[in-house]
Amino acid sequence: MKNVVLVFPGQGSQSIGMGKDLYDKFSYVKGLFDKASSVIDVDMAKMIFEGTEDELRDTYNAQPSIFLISASMLEIIRREGKDINILAVAGHSLGEYSALYSAGVFSFEDGLRIVRKRGELMSKADPEGKGGMAAVIGLDPDKIKEVCDNLTKEGFYVEPVNYNSLDQTVISGYKESISKAVELLKSAGAKRVVELSVSGAFHSKLMEQPAKEFRKFLETFNISSPSIPVIANYNAEPYPSDKAKIIDIMEKQMYSPVLWTSITQKIKSLNPDAIIEVGPGQVLKGLIKKTLPEVDILSFSVELL
């Protein structure tokens, strides 16, 4: 039996046509699509397979779509992967909700409702489009934090929010502050700074207010203790078993940094035979490979099972 850790990608991994081969091959995947369409009242197959990139990129649509694809791949692993033992799971940003679902914290239907609401609140958080994000390549994370802290002291607002790998950190805040930070970070030695095509300053303090509303929404659901360890973005530690504490971390995740490099080290300590990325794209495979070059990291495929 192969001992594995499953990792689930977040927003930005979506693409038109994702999962079509699985939809065509497995009737139970088509069943998940039909169930999802019924739950959120959108023809998911039509949107994901025939829609536009702009429509799918919208946070409101991207979050349930990526959750659905990850859940479909997870279902295939459960049904076809006879020799797989899951040691733990983790997800990057939105992907944490796929990880929580995989551990039985909430049902598939409730997971869809939760990520749909999360996407709605995040897209409404910045109606004037003042917030943004940028990926900083090739600069020490401590130096990036120092630059952002100094700018914040001067009245700007920008902070590091996704510690993706040792050479990639994402910053978030007001667009004008990010533009100022880009200049300073390049002067400090960053190889590249790429402004991201997102609709807000995600994982920053600007998400605190929608996070409070999100918490109230979460409290209406049946939340169960994780059946396997779920390593949290917020503190790189396994989620607790208590419902109130689980919701507390889910709320904080919306406005706190994603500690992905720390999560990667936590995964390493479990000594898995392999890490499998369960979702569209290969973003996490690339990030983890930079931090753990010696670990076997695989993208999901039916042939693996």
Our measurement of the distance from residue 248's CA atom to the centroid of its chain's CA atoms, rounded to an integer in Å, reads 18
Our measurement of the distance from residue 280's CA atom to the centroid of its chain's CA atoms, rounded to an integer in Å, reads 12
Does 37 participate in catalysis according to the annotation?
no
Neighbour count for residue 86 (Cβ, 10 Å): 21
94-97 contact pairs (CB < 8 A, 24+): 94/10, 94/11, 94/62, 94/63, 94/66, 94/67, 94/118, 95/7, 95/8, 95/9, 95/10, 95/66, 95/70, 95/279, 95/284, 96/8, 96/10, 96/230, 96/232, 96/233, 96/253, 97/63, 97/67
Q: Which of 65, 70, 72, 93 is catalytic?
A: 93
Does 93 participate in catalysis according to the annotation?
yes
Q: Which of 92, 165, 203, 204 is catalytic?
A: 203
299, 283, 3, 240: CA torsion to nearest 10? -140
The residues annotated with a catalytic role in the active site are: 93, 203
